[in-house]
Structure 1
Amino acid sequence: MDIDSTRNIIKKGALEVVTPDELDEKIKKNQKTAYIGYEPSGKVHLGHAITVKKMIDLEKAGFKVKILLADLHAFLNGKGSLEEIKEISDYNAKCFRALGLSEEAEFSLGSSFQTREDYTMKVYQLALLTTLTRAKRSMAQITRDAEDHQVAEVIYPLMQVVDMLFLDVDLAVGGMEQRKIHMLARDNLPKLGFPSPVCIHTPLLHGTDGSDKMSSSKENFIAIDDEPKVIKKKIKKSYCPAGEIEGNPIIEIAHHFIFSERDRLVIKRPDKFGGNLDLTQEELLKMYKNRDLHPLDLKNSVADCLADILEPVRNYLKKTHK
């Protein structure tokens, strides 16, 4: 694959690449590593799936993919005891495999190296280079809302930067909520004598309630292993204002998970409401914006199609859970 084709695969669907010139240099390397970290959580949902799809793209582009199951980060972010968090990590790894990551993708628990003396020393060195204000700002979209913040919140981003060093990362992937931490890594790793990673940022999927981010803690998510009737119920209740495209989670789900797989979406409607439609993404957006397509018809069709697309994921998880 030539460099232009490789670059196009990597940049597809990304909001930004920091920086494109550096990405070209990474692509030319014979051995190159892309990483993303996830806090182990109860359910893997469509928001996670957007970034997993990007990691699959990076595998196709010749990168070794490393997935950090960040159990200590989750602990610092108040997601439960270490025992509870570790228990869910294996299931999360199976979910990411179910979404299509290859067997060559490498999974690591953060606790497998984050308590080492050399790791801890790098965190201390980074702490000397980072202001309290910047550390707190970098966590603004990641931590849970609280009036009185924990010291753990400023340790978290420092550890995430050092993770990139210990995992020998050429390229870091994350949603836009990770951007400030990634920029912290780019600014400060060279001060410790190490190169900056290229950073790729993917869109955040709005929650089914219309809030800024799909999140298991907010119960505004569609899990990748939800049964079709559950998907239908969640989407039927979802925020989907008539005529509005921006910030509409149902439109976003269609974009990221249906039209990325298929060229057209069939909208099933009774004859008295105009009958079935067979639409491209452009046609769907135009009709919806003009209010020629009812939100309920859109919801029903997206729910059916999404359930069909996720069927192999559900089957994989049922098989591996036995």
Structure 2
Amino acid sequence: MTAQKPTEMTTEERYALVRSVGEECIQEEELLNLITKKPNIRCYDGFEPSGRMHIAQGVFKAVNVNKCTQSGCEFVFWVADWFALMNDKMCGELEKIRIVGQYLIEVWKAAGMNMEKVIFLWSSDEITRNANSYWKTVLDIGRRNTIARIKKCCTIMGKQEGTLTAAQILYPLMQCADIFFLKADICQLGLDQRKVNMLAREYCDLIGRKLKPVILSHHMLSGLKEGQPKMSKSDPDSAIFMEDTREDVERKIRHAYCPRLRQKKAEVPEDGAPVSSEEKNPVLDYFQHVIYSRPAASTTINGTLYKTYEELEEAFVDGTITEELLKDALALELNALLEPVRHHFACDPHAAELLEKVKSFRKGGQAPPLTDIGPFEQSETPLAVVWLPAVIKLSVNIAVAISDAVKAFLEQHSDGEVVLLLPEWTAFSCGEVTGEEKNINAALELNLALLQATYLRKEGVRVVRQSQLILDNPNDYWVAAINAGRRNMLQYLGDVCGEFKTAGDLVAALMYVADVAMLKATHIISASHERGYHEVVKEFFDGRVTAIPTREGTVPPLHRPEALVAGADDVLFLDDTDMDTRRKIKKAYCAPNEAANPVLSIAAWLLRERGTLTVERAVENGGNVAYTSEAQLRDDAQSGALHPADLKAAVTKPLLEVCAVSKTVLSSAEGKKLSQTLRQTEKTLSRRSK
């Protein structure tokens, strides 16, 4: 029977043919609307090259693809070689994974898939070429979803929650991003992919997108043994594989579970995973979804032609067809379907070579232990990386802590260098500064300018934007992040880094490792809010990366020591005006006879930095004093010899000098522009908090 062309089919016929592909459709009215109104419909499926192809993935998939393309759809296969890498397939070697992918494509060609409107795209190639848009989508999906939501999708890898690595949380994020990256109208995957496809529809709601991908989920073929809800590549006798010999097929079908029961339509559970049932007959399942899934299919048993599956099932249930005859007929039909594949791999030199390579890979064992991943190159000379915090206002305390650590490192390593990394993508992944790129960039750019103008030395410091670091070599960057995820269990990262609010926070933890790997850093300067992430870095590099903790508290909050929360006027910021600084120091807690005195701490720091701190006062109050000894300064302040008002005045003067420098930055055209953006950002955050 000659297949009809799309132009010869009515809308109803096209809809019926496409709909016949799926056991479940979400939503049918959306599918009909697509077929009615959209001229170029794109269907998508992804496959992970993992060594063997069972008959459902081979013949059943070829039939479904042909139905879609006959209806006028384009079918895109996403060859998920990076996903296979995350799942430790083919010893975790990308080149072997690609060869397996090429082999599987050859199988489909031989199985009768019409390639005229079929496109194969390799994820590693496409992602690398379009790294900016692809990974931004992955990060955006991650930051908008909790870890708990993403865990629900992890059944797509057959992983249970307690055994998840951090990399396996990346898998659903990437698969969800694939749908939008490929501009797919229809997700034509198995029912077991239901949760991640639903994640894509939920993401549309989160971003306000009206046109959602239609989910057209095909049936999951059951395993051949009793109680096997689906086939398993780890159990060769649970399924028919595309490379099975005639004898293999006959033996497996002969031993298949085959109860003489009328088959019931199974309810689809929320996760789409098939449910084990003693009533399920895999022999009939194969007939219904492999043999009779083809247009105008029929089978002959003991001289009787059965034109529909329903006729066949009825004849078996009522005893007209014996179990032996049913199985013999199925084996005959399956071998007829597999014969062109066998012939292709026997006669085509390229196909035969691919098959031999794939077979050799199976003997190569498992992926290397997670502890053996690497090694990564490191700089021959000392190189430290420090991450600039993505905050609207950078406190003087953090600015000084970073600057002091940088200074100490460069003084200790005369041939060393410090990279100040602007982590735009990490901030985006964590939803910092509203999560909007414009606002994140404004915060980083303005705080960088203020830091460089005030406390940070310029010699020996190189500024690197994380976006450029990633886009210069996206493949290696994300392979490093994935490898960090492969090595670390999800639960361990949560214990070390603290509870992740979103999946984006988890991805950020892996990005710290990738940053260090790509920069070839030997040291990391570690601020207190990053200590957990940096523990992951140190462990990943097996102690070859040294962490330098920053000394924070030099410029402490200005409130009473026992106060737990700092108010707006309790913290000095780099962008404070003269008025801000005067007001904050005037209100600061500064009791005499107390060691825990924030103004005294600031005074001591200024003395260390400048070598002297001058207190100006009337002669009758003791006259001017130029302190050069921190001990003397502290003694006088705590004894009451130095009045709090005089101490505050002494501290205010040098701080105002810094304000003058900051004002130069803030009053420039660029400074005004960035400041305006951040003022709007603060208003946005204020509205969100209400």
| TM-score scaled by length of structure 2 | 0.43
Paired residue type of 1:247 = K
- Distance between the aligned counterparts of 1:74 and 1:101, measured in 2? 26
- Contact preservation (8 Å) 1:51, 1:175: no
Preserved contact between residue 48 and residue 81 of structure 2 (Cα < 8 Å): yes
Instruction: State the match for 2:583 in structure 1.
Output: none
In structure 2, the partner of 1:215 is 232
Structure 1 partner of 2:293: 260
1:42 correspondence with 2:62: no
Instruction: Please point out which of 316, 322, 328 is paired with 1:300.
Output: 328
1:229–1:197 distance in 2 versus 1, CA, 3 Å: same
Q: What is the aligned counterpart of 1:78 among 50, 71, 88?
A: 88
Q: Distance in 2 between matches of 1:31 and 1:141?
A: 29
1:94-118, Cα deviation, whole Å (9 max, x unpaired): 1222231324311011111334233
Alignment of 1:36-185 (within 5 A): 36-48=45-57, 49-80=59-90, 81=92, 82-99=94-111, 100-115=113-128, 116-144=131-159, 147-185=162-200
Bigger mean CA deviation after superposition, 129-138 or 286-295? 286-295
Q: Which TM-score applies when normalising by structure 1?
A: 0.89
In 1, are the aligned partners of 2:262 and 2:313 still within 8 Å (CA)?
no
Q: Distance in 2 between matches of 1:178 and 1:46?
A: 18
Residues 294-321 of structure 1 show CA distances to partners (whole Å, capped at 9, x for unaligned) of 3222111210122113323333344442
- Distance in 2, matches of 1:297 and 1:108, equals 43
Report the AA paired with residue 252 of structure 2: K
Greater alpha carbon shift after TM alignment, 247-256 vs 145-154: 145-154
Distance 2:244 2:232 in 1: 15
Task: Report the 3-state secondary structure (helix = DSSP H, G, I; strand = E; otherwise coil) of the residue aligned with 2:163.
Answer: coil
For residue 19 of structure 2, what is the amino acid of its counterpart? Answer: K
Corresponding position of 2:15: 7
CA distance in 2, matches of 1:232, 1:257: 16
8 Å CA contact retained: 1:243, 1:290: no
In the alignment, the residues of structure 2 paired with residue 130 and residue 78 of structure 1 have an alpha-carbon distance, to the nearest angstrom, of: 25
CA change 1:2–1:292 in 2 (3 A) is closer
Deviations 1:185-231 (CA, angstroms, capped at 9, x unpaired): 01103534654211101110001224111232332221123222221
> Aligned residue pairs: how many?
315
The one-letter amino acid paired with 1:201 is S
Larger Rg: 2
The 2-side partners of 1:185 and 1:146 are apart by: 21
Which residue does the alignment assign to 2:214? Answer: 198
How many Å apart are 1:58 and its aligned residue?
0.9
- The CA distance in 2 between the partners of 1:64 and 1:278, in whole Å, is 35
For residues 21-78 of structure 1, the C-alpha deviation after alignment (integer angstroms, 9 at most, x for no partner) is 2212322212221110011121211221333322211101111110011111122223
Of 25, 37, 40, the match for 1:31: 40
In 1, the alpha carbon distance for the partners of 2:192 and 2:323 equals 29
Q: Secondary structure at the match of 1:260?
A: coil
SS at match of 2:78: strand
Residue 272 of structure 1 aligns with which residue? none
Q: Deviations over 1:111-151 (max 9, x none)?
A: 11334233222111111111212211112253245852212
Structure 2 counterpart of 1:227, from 240, 245, 255: 245
Partner letter of residue 233 of structure 1?
R
- Report if the CA contact (8 A) 2:253-2:327 is conserved: yes
Q: 1: distance between equivalents of 2:89 and 2:149?
A: 23
Task: Give, as a single letter, the amino acid of the residue that structure 1 aligns with 2:337.
Answer: I
Which protein, 1 or 2, shows the higher relative CO under an 8 Å CA cutoff with sep ≥ 6? 1
Report the secondary structure of 2:50's partner residue: coil
For 2:28 and 2:261, how far apart are their aligned partners in 1? 36
Contact 1:266 1:279 (C-alpha < 8 Å) held by counterparts: yes
Q: Provide, for residues 223-253 of structure 1, a one-character-per-residue CA deviation record: whole Å limited to 9, x for no partner.
A: 1232222211121122223446452111011
Alignment-mate amino acid for residue 29 of structure 2: D
Question: Which deviates the most, 59-68 or 139-148?
Answer: 139-148
Q: Measure the CA separation in 1 of the matches of 2:286 and 2:176.
A: 31
Task: Report if aligned partners of 1:39, 1:73 keep a CA contact under 8 Å in 2.
Answer: yes
- Cα deviation for residue 153 of structure 1 reads 2.2
Name the CA distance, whole Å, in 1 between partners of 2:160 and 2:232: 13
- What's the % identity of the aligned pairs? 28
Please state whether the residue corresponding to 1:229 is helix, strand or coil.
helix
Task: Give the Cα separation in 2 of the matches to 1:244 and 1:228.
Answer: 29
Alpha-carbon contact 1:242-1:294 (below 8 Å) kept: no
Offset at residue 10 of structure 1 (A) = 0.4
**Cα distance change of structure 1 residues 282 and 17 upon mapping to structure 2, 3 Å threshold:** closer
Q: Which runs of 5 or more residues in structure 2 are unaligned?
A: 1-8, 264-278, 353-690
Q: Could you tell which deviates more after superposition, 223-232 or 143-152?
A: 143-152
